[in-house]
Structure 1
């Protein structure tokens, strides 16, 4: 039986080629996902733990809630006491924070979010074990810095050059004293690291004479556990100690938690690609078995049992799957390497191909074809040998009253009802309900496509009658000749279009919401933000006083309040200017009340807490400060807005309770409005600080929507794999159809249909298959996009459904173009059918 199966595979290798290619693509996807995820986890773990082997014990300052979140007492005296403990070879006090390096044009170098600054902490020999200098030496003066090797190369800096560096305390120019290499814990991938002298770093990132943590190095032969006990016995209140090994484990767990999410997303899309491939495989074996009905019946007639024939066919599918899986493993490993290149900001490491990945990929790739081929084989085995020998082909067209159709209709109705229920109730489990309902509805639609194919395809008949009356009519008849085959082919494309259309609807709706929220609320010309997403110091805005004609107000946020029994964040603004910089839609009271020391509250906050204008609320803060505030205005605001505060207060009132609030942004308006000169003036007034970004409305719109756009582009790239497999399914279906219809094609040629006409007919069949899948997929995608969008409306005020007609049309055009490309080879074969051979009696 094995020899027979192997001989059959080679005999039908051309017909099985695209099936094997589809399996290979699916295995490639899942192998690439697993290999990339494992490699990324290993690289991230190595980076997160690199350097901790030299640390015996790490002492850190903890935030003290009772002291306004101020870190515990970790200063030079603590470091001196730790250095005197038995078994301690050296101590190194560390501080770190945000520090951006400017290039020679004044723009930040590297990834702003990972622009780090730290202190050079030399031991007795003048060296810091955390850094290995390749040029120069560590900074020792207040006007010197050192840069990591990658940042120095990117900026073209050499030792002795002047480098401008900015922190949350301002920007200055420094002399570059050295260039170094360091471990991954100090320098994130794609980031920059600037070293300052110890006192300078403390002034920028903490307080003079204080440390964020202290690293202890042990003398040879010291028991780390005993050393930890000795360290804990002398630690002051508000500090804690942990071994370097334990800290490395904690850092590794934190680092890999984010990478696992990306791996799960990739594996999820791999599962979709494999699911789509199932239709192609099942369709191929349906046609192969139908073509070989006489052959199989003859085997039964000469003595082969039904079970033996079934085993031969399943062995064929196993051989196809196994060979395709081996190829998919190899290609998938290459795809993982390509992903590492594309995501350059992730840590690089050798590719990791684990036994689990090999086993999973091989099992999926070999079992999937067997499962997909089971139903066609079972259907063929039900045909008696005598009947099979007497007929060329036995088809089982879908009937409206069949059990399959009834069950599919029930699934569609149940799934649609679940989706609508989840969309209208918008409860905490709404998305789960919608997901389950979508799975049921999609499964039912796939089962109903054979019945839907005839009415949907008929809709396109008038258009085809105008374009090509004869060829179009033939294409329509051929497309609906075998509804099950047509349905299985179109189902793969429908799944891909459902995902693409749903993502387009959600992305367009979210982008328009963000755009409207930004343009409506912002009246200022510019918003100044930290380039790394950090909070700024309230003194950052002070230099704008010298900018002629400028109107500005910082957004000074202060936390830790209970206002009228409700957890609240107060945002301090300049009462005299805020009305010109932010558009407050006041629904009750007046914004002028800010100048009287009162507060203004967002409508959603007032509604949640039951507040009204004129109400005086008791105020409590975590540091036991108490007071009372009066509501002077209520205004409309979006709970998700980054600009409109939930509680707006005069900055003098916030300063009464919090001397060091964090500035989320600075709103600036200039006399001449937006322009290159105005932006340059604001930038220069703020000290040409590379840590600060001066953004106009267009910049903010781009910044807010870029994350959505980047994610959508990744998802579209992943969905494209399913589109490729669906196109292969169309090519395979048409190719097998051409083989089955050789006599018919020969007859049409004999009756006068030329090669161009045959080619046009096959291409129109492909377009009809593409149109059927695209129509059903787009309708389902828009429906699911609406349902999921409804779950966002409960938490995101102003979110509305937006149908991106252009993107939806582009997706449909891509599907149709893919269908047309898939028809090139089958159409070429159909046009070259030999007329005498095809029309000869069988």
Structure 2
């Protein structure tokens, strides 16, 4: 049987290529995510462990407390200690362009490690922030003191690479005296020690350990690593999005093997005739799927590693690619299991081929099987149950979503699963309806449109499976776009904090804003009204007819003696919010585009295989007068109808799921992005048309004489 499987792979190699490409894309995305996050995580671990290099012992402060200055001095003066470096990390406010303390702007101040060359009154600024802020060695960076009581200008003594824990905020490495200016309460979180030559580490540890927790440098490095889970924030959402491409790929692979089995009816029947058992036929088909899955998965891992290397280099020029055996194994297992699982049902169908089928002609692709009652009942139950959970989550309407949003996601998944189960019942009628509209609009090409519609729905299971791949992608994109536009439309509530005003005057200090400051702002001729909102916020509206920039300049001038007060324009905050939102949107859409590419390949694969099994039919139509152009148009309309159904149903489902998600979050208001949904629908339809070009060219070249002679 093994030689037969190999012969089958060689005979159907071209038909399996597109399936292999689907496996490569889906597994490649998963592998790239795992390799990239593993590489970033390994780099972070190396940097975190490096923070403990050269440390013989480290004295740790109690949980939620600090080592007082007196304790730090006593530790540094202990017998056997050659050098001590008090360590502390603080968050301080930065200063905006007006020279005011920005309550939403932060910098990270880090005490210098052992042997660090940092001047007593200067700081080292991380290179990434220096480039973004346009600062260099010799410049100054201004931050707020503890409790935002004043401003401190810190000389930049040099630039340094950001640490493993550095985020987007500036990171300042400073001596202990500088850190002490911002420490509240004063003290250190730990003290790193280097022991004198010949000192007994155990004795020093025992002496200091009587009152404090003391660890070795190796133990400190491991603790720093264990406390960091930075890359999980990147790994989880990427893997979730990657799951979308895997699901789409599963539909494409299952559909491909279903068509291959249908085309090989006579071949499989002949095997049964010469003595092959059902189990051998099943093993043969599954062996082919294992081969395709293994080859595609290995290629996917290689493509994923290359993608991770390129992406990682853009994120971190010093990144060292880390490919673990676990990542390779999981990627290959996922690809093979997905491929074999998708081919299992078609393989089982292959075992039901009777030996007498060897005497029949090649099937024309029609499927006379009706959708079973159990399938219909299961699909309806899933849709009803999912809808009820969806509505329950939408009705919760909690702040930030919370449990309600989780219910919406779960309900949407169940509801969509029910829709996929009912696909053979739902999709063909929609294709017929759209086909009827196309036929009316086709004019002289009415017969071609009617042929395309009839061909598209002759196999309900196939058209439903082909449409399902694109349906998943369109639904995901439509839902995401709707949530994004709802967030954008709700920016007045999300960003402005439900305060209807042009400007916000906020204080970064713990003391409330003085009444005389509020009165001084209200008396300005450029100001229309001032509303006190709590102790730390003034909501200010410009007077009618006054330019916003003039009103803001007047507020800044009136509060020049109060550096703790920042004047924020809500228009600017909206612009900043939308800029951040657009960056996230572009990233996610780029990832979701992979699902649409896989669906595109699925349509092309289906049409290509369909052309092969309909060789005699196409030849007969050509003999009866169907032109090459009409042949291409017919296949293009078939693909366009499938794409249009996926676009209509997917847009509607995505908008519905998005409505429930938005309703579950109190701060959001539902907005339907009609233009964007229309664009996504058009793109989905065009994907179908483009996917039909190559199969259409092949069908158009079919010779009527050769086609009618095909067996």
Taking structure 1 as the reference length, the TM-score comes to 0.73
Give 1:254's aligned residue: 227
Query: What pairs up with 1:96-175 in 2 under 5 angstroms?
Result: 96-98=89-91, 115-118=107-110, 129-132=114-117, 138-140=118-120, 145-148=123-126, 161-167=138-144, 168-171=148-151
Distance 1:63 1:388, change over 3 A: closer
2-structure distance, mates of 1:508, 1:153: 32
Q: Which residue number in structure 1 is paired with residue 472 of structure 2?
A: 495
1:89-133 Cα shifts (integer Å, max 9, x gaps): 122345554468899x9999xxx966333566xxxxxxx73534x
Any idea what the Cα deviations from partners look like across 1:130-187, whole Å, max 9, x if unmatched? 534xxxxx4345xx5554555556666665x4434233455565655x32546726x7
CA distance in 1, matches of 2:228, 2:562: 30
Are 1:363 and 2:333 matched, yes or no?
yes
Which residue, 302, 308, 331 being the options, matches 1:336? Answer: 308
Measured after TM superposition, the shift of residue 287 of structure 1 is 1.2
The alignment status of 1:179 with 2:158, answered yes or no, reads yes
| Contact residue 39 and residue 351 of structure 1 kept, 8 A | yes
1:183-222 paired onto structure 2 within 5 Å = 184=163, 188=166, 191-194=169-172, 199-206=177-184, 213-220=190-197, 222=199
Equivalent pairs counted in the alignment come to 696
Q: Which residue in 2 is equivalent to 1:476?
A: 453
Separation of aligned partners in 2, 1:690 and 1:765: 68
Contact map agreement 1:47 1:347 (CA 8 A) in 2:
no
Q: 1:276 aligns with which of 248, 259, 267?
A: 248
Superposed CA deviations along residues 53-100 of structure 1, whole A, max 9, x for unmatched, are 333444566698xxxxxx66712x333322221221122345554468
Q: Which one of the candidate residues 637, 655, 661 is aligned to 1:782?
A: 655
Determine the structure 2 residue equivalent to 1:419. 390
Partner SS state of residue 109, structure 2: strand
Instruction: Determine the C-alpha separation between the residues in 1 that align with 2:561 and 2:688.
Output: 55
How big is the shift at 1:390?
Answer: 2.0
Following TM superposition, by how much is the alpha carbon of 1:452 offset from its aligned partner in structure 2, in angstroms?
Answer: 1.4
Instruction: Give the aligned partner of residue 349 of structure 1.
Output: 319
Corresponding position of 2:431:
457
Distance 1:5 1:755 in 2: 36
Gaps of 5+ in 1: 65-70, 121-127, 133-137, 530-534, 554-576, 585-643, 652-662
Find the residue that maps to 2:636 and give its secondary structure. Answer: helix
Distance of 1:341 and 1:540 partners within structure 2: 47
Distance 1:225 1:62 in 2: 21
- The separation in 2 between residues aligned to 1:72 and 1:205, in whole angstroms, is 10
Counterpart for residue 467 of structure 1: 441
Q: CA deviation at 1:348?
A: 5.2
Structure 1 partner of 2:697: 828
Name the SS for the 2:84 alignment partner: strand
User: How far off is 1:442 after superposition?
Assistant: 2.3
Counterpart among 598, 616, 635 of residue 762 in structure 1: 635
Corresponding residue for 1:814?
683
Can you list the C-alpha shifts for 1:763-797, whole angstroms capped at 9, x where unaligned? 111111111222222232233223333433xxx2x
- Checking the alignment, whether the CA contact within 8 Å between 1:170 and 1:687 is kept in structure 2 is no
Please tell me the root mean square deviation across aligned C-alpha atoms, in Å.
4.0
Shift of 1:289: 1.5
More strand by share: 1
Q: What do residues 603-660 of structure 1 show as CA deviations (whole Å, max 9, x unaligned)? A: xxxxxxxxxxxxxxxxxxxxxxxxxxxxxxxxxxxxxxxxx6xxx3xx5xxxxxxxxx
**Aligned residue for 1:298?**
270
Shift of 1:367: 2.8
CA 484–552 in structure 1, closer or farther in 2 if over 3 Å, else same: farther
Question: More helix by proportion, 1 or 2?
Answer: 2
- In the alignment, which residue of structure 1 is the partner of 2:14? 14
**Offset of residue 280 of structure 1:** 1.1
Determine which of 374, 389, 393 is the counterpart of 2:359.
389
State the partner residue of 1:407. Answer: 378
Give yes or no for contact 2:129–2:170 (8 Å, CA) kept in 1.
yes
Once the two structures are TM-superposed, the CA of residue 490 in structure 1 deviates from its matched residue by 0.6
Deviation track 1:792-811 (CA, whole Å, cap 9, x = no partner) reads: 3xxx2x64433222222222
The residue aligned with 1:85 is 78
Cα distance in 2 for partners of 1:709, 1:158 equals 30
Q: Helix, strand or coil: the match of 1:53?
A: coil
What residue in structure 1 maps to residue 35 of structure 2? 35
Deviation at 1:480, TM superposition (A): 0.4
Q: Report the Cα offset of residue 290 of structure 1.
A: 1.4
